[in-house]
Amino acid sequence: MSAELSESLARFFIGGAVVSFFAVLAEIFRPKSFAGLFGAAPSIALATLGLTISSHGPRYAAIEARSMVLGAIAFLCYAAATAWLLWRHKPRALSATVSLIPIWFAVSFALFLVIR
């Protein structure tokens, strides 16, 4: 098995486990505004940064973390827009979250172009 494939498999299983763990936390906590905090937990980062550090070194991972700040700002815009749309117009949650996902792409890539 190639090193690339085994790293992807490790990412898949570690990522799946970490994301599921945070999803369980989001399910058990009340009130829902508190549980929502875990919807934006650093699950992907916790799952993959360790592997990135071991394969590419800490400086490479630090560059990824710098971009992650921009991704988090984009996520903030996306989650705030979703909350507003659901509160104000009450569409189905899946329709709202999927239709607004371009906000994440637009904001994160706009910020990426600004700091490039």
Partner 1 sequence: MIVGARFSAIKGIKPHEWIIRFVFGGAVCVAAGLIAQHYGPVVGGLFLAFPAIFPASVSLVEAHEKQHKRRAGYDGANRGRIVAAIDSYGAAIGCIALAAFALVFWIWLPRTSTWVVFPLATLVWLTVAVGLWLLRKRLFHKPRQTRKEPNHSR
Query: Rule CB under 8 A: which of 40-59 touch partner 1?
Result: 40-53, 56, 58-59
Nearest distance from C-beta of residue 57 to partner 1, angstroms: 9
Query: Rule CB under 8 A: which of 63-102 touch partner 1?
Result: 63-76, 78-80, 82-84, 86-87, 90-94, 96-98, 101
Rounded CA separation 2/40 (Å)? 33
106 is an interface residue for partner 1 by CB under 8 A: no
Query: Rule CB under 8 A: which of 2-31 touch partner 1?
Result: 7-8, 11-20, 23-24, 26-31
Rounded CA separation 88/102 (Å)? 20
Please choose, from the candidates 107, 106, 109, 82, the residue with its C-alpha nearest in 3D space to the C-alpha of residue 96.
82
Stated as kind and residue range, the H or E segment containing 96 is helix 93-99
